[in-house]
């Protein structure tokens, strides 16, 4: 490509850098589909396990295929003793996202063939990472709280098993379903920053663990998956629903970003936000947390009035904050929940990249000086 043909797009906006068969996004109309199926239909009718099968195989499973897939996933729920020891060597006040990023990286050292990069090997590693990461989160959280580790229960679904390992008691069906819907809605989302990071890393033919580790590091940023914690911090700072409008208007006046709003692709309401809004309302009613829901709703109304013309609407992180709070999760576990789900998408993209790989290597537009004389250190 000649220099004249090269274009610079800050933040790579509008650049098509990969092809995928997994998720389709229409940002103007607020549409999200996984393999052609509307996210709302999956949230209301599918399970996380079935959604992962869909993303990785580009079709819905038959009953026996889903059974085999689920059995395989459950057979990898348990974390080995060495990994538990590694988690217990982390400082108790470490941020869970730092622990997760480090421990996913460490999983490579307990894999007898960590660098195997055939598509089949990548699928198997993805299955293991997806299945065992909930245990990493639960083991660390219980260890820092001084509680006994709760072993995984392979008779439980992905969602129920995580809540069981975290809380030490079997979750209700309603909580399990709510968590399952969170996992479905967060599973994949085009070439978002963390997915791009995963694809960039695997494109060097590095390894699946490195790719997923890089993705976790990307996701934790406040402009990406870290925004759900930012939303909760904001909700905690607003004393009552009546204070919401003044609080947000003050943030706008100070040119602060309102977490949970805006998106590079959506210029309409993120369809995941609509799904999670319904879920958050139901859970808030059931758990006596309507103040959080009402504050969120009040913020959305102010933002609609002030920012809708600019195409800034609630994104997935806005109502997921209230949802996770109602499920009983601590604030610093919100972004880790995004990780649990998005491993499905990251892995699917890693597999797609390996199926038709070409090294990612964009170029820079050099804007510095030329022909500068070298001055020896004594003369500077
Ligand atoms: N609050 C106030 N103003 C905003 C916001 C917001 N949340 N988002 C964008 N803007 C303004 C921004 O100040 C800028 O204004 P101006 O043109 O006057 O300078 C304009 O909108 C464009 O912003 P941008 O940063 O160039 O747009 P982007 O496409 O790079 O930003 C974003 C996308 C998600 C980083 C941004 O909307 C944002 O910072 N949102 C808050 C953080 C957040 O909720 N992130 C989660 C994203 S969705 C889940 C995920 O994928 O992780």
- List residues near ligand 1 (CB under 6 A): 11, 192, 223-225, 227, 257-264, 310, 312, 315-317
Are the C-beta atoms of residues 43 and 320 closer than 8 Å to each other?
Answer: no
d(CA 347, CA 162): 20
Contacts of residue 108, defined as CB under 8 A and 6 or more positions apart, other chains included, come to 114, 207, 209, 210
Contacts of residue 102, defined as CB under 8 A and 6 or more positions apart, other chains included, come to 90
pLDDT of residue 1: 59
What average pLDDT does the chain have? 97
CA–centroid distance, 263 to ligand 1, in Å, is 6
Residue 3 has pLDDT above 80, yes or no: no
Q: At what angle do helices 158-167 and 119-144 cross, to 10 degrees?
A: 30
CA–centroid distance, 202 to ligand 1, in Å, is 28
Q: Which atom of ligand 1 is nearest to the CA of 256?
A: 2
**What are 9's two structure tokens?**
């797009």
Residue 223 has pLDDT above 90, yes or no: yes
CA–centroid distance, 230 to ligand 1, in Å, is 13
Q: Is 373 strand, coil or helix?
A: coil
- Say if pTM beats, i.e. exceeds, 0.85: yes
* Strand ranges inside the chain, DSSP E: 23-26, 31-34, 37-38
Mean pLDDT on 247-262:
96
CA–centroid distance, 5 to ligand 1, in Å, is 29
Q: Which atom of ligand 1 is nearest to the CA of 310?
A: 21
Task: State pLDDT tens for residues 121-162.
Answer: 999 999 999 999 999 999 999 999 999 999 999 999 999 999
Task: State pLDDT tens for residues 304-333.
Answer: 999 999 999 999 999 999 999 999 999 999
Phi–psi pair at 37, nearest 5 degrees = -95, 130
Q: Whose CA is nearest to atom 32 of ligand 1?
A: 263
| Maximum pairwise Cα distance, the chain | 77
**What are 198's two structure tokens?**
């995963």
Q: Is 62 strand, coil or helix?
A: coil
Residues acting as catalytic residues: 224, 263, 317
Task: State pLDDT tens for residues 258-298.
Answer: 999 999 999 999 999 999 999 999 999 999 999 999 999 99
Q: Whose CA is nearest to atom 35 of ligand 1?
A: 223
Of 294, 295, 230, 220, which Cα lies nearest the Cα of 256? 230
CA–centroid distance, 306 to ligand 1, in Å, is 14
Task: State pLDDT tens for residues 336-371.
Answer: 999 999 999 999 999 999 999 999 999 999 999 999
By most ligand atoms within 8 Å of CB, the mutation choice from 254, 261, 262, 338 for ligand 1 is 262
Q: Whose CA is nearest to atom 13 of ligand 1?
A: 257
Q: Whose CA is nearest to atom 25 of ligand 1?
A: 264
Q: Which domains does the chain have, with CATH numbers?
A: 23-170+188-222+342-355 (1.10.580.10), 227-327 (1.10.230.10)
Q: How many CA atoms lie within 13 A of 284 on its CB side?
A: 20
Q: Whose CA is nearest to atom 8 of ligand 1?
A: 262
User: Predicted confidence band at 6 (pLDDT cuts at 50, 70, 90)?
Assistant: confident
pLDDT of residue 90: 98
């Amino acid at each position: 490509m000649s220099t004249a043909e090269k274009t610079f797009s800050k933040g790579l906006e509008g650049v098509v850098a990969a092809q995928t068969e997994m998720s389709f996004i229409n940002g103007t109309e607020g549409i999200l589909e996984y393999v052609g199926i509307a996210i709302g239909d999956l949230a209301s009718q599918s399970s996380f396990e079935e959604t992962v099968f869909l993303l990785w195989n580009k079709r819905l499973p038959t009953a026996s295929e889903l059974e085999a897939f689920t059995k395989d996933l459950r057979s990898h729920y348990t974390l080995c003793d060495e990994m538990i020891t590694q988690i217990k060597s982390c400082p108790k006040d470490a941020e869970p996202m730092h622990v997760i990023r480090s421990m996913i990286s460490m999983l490579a050292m307990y894999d007898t063939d960590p660098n195997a990069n055939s598509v089949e090997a990548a699928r198997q590693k993805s299955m293991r990472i997806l299945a065992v990461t909930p245990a990493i989160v639960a083991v660390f959280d219980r260890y820092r709280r001084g509680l006994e580790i709760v072993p995984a229960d392979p008779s439980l679904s992905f969602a129920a098993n995580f809540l069981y390992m975290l809380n030490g008691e079997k979750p209700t069906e309603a909580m399990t379903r709510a968590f399952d819907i969170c996992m479905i809605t967060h599973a994949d989302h085009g070439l978002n920053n963390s997915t791009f990071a995963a694809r960039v890393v695997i494109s060097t033919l590095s390894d699946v663990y490195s790719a997923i580790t890089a993705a976790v590091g990307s996701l934790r940023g406040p402009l990406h998956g870290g925004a759900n914690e930012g939303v909760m911090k904001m909700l905690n700072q607003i004393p009552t629903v009546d204070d919401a409008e003044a609080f947000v208007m003050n943030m706008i006046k100070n040119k602060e970003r309102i977490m949970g709003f805006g998106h590079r692709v959506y210029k309409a309401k993120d369809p995941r936000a609509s799904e999670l809004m319904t879920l958050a309302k139901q859970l808030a009613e059931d758990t006596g947390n309507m103040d959080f829901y009402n504050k969120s709703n009040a913020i959305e109304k102010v933002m609609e009035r002030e920012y809708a013309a600019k195409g800034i609407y609630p994104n997935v992180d806005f109502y997921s904050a209230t949802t996770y709070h109602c499920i009983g999760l601590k604030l610093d576990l919100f972004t880790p929940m995004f990780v649990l789900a998005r491993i499905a998408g990251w892995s699917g993209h890693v597999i797609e990249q390996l199926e038709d790989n070409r090294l990612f290597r964009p170029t820079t537009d050099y804007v510095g000086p030329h022909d500068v004389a070298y001055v020896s250190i004594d003369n500077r």
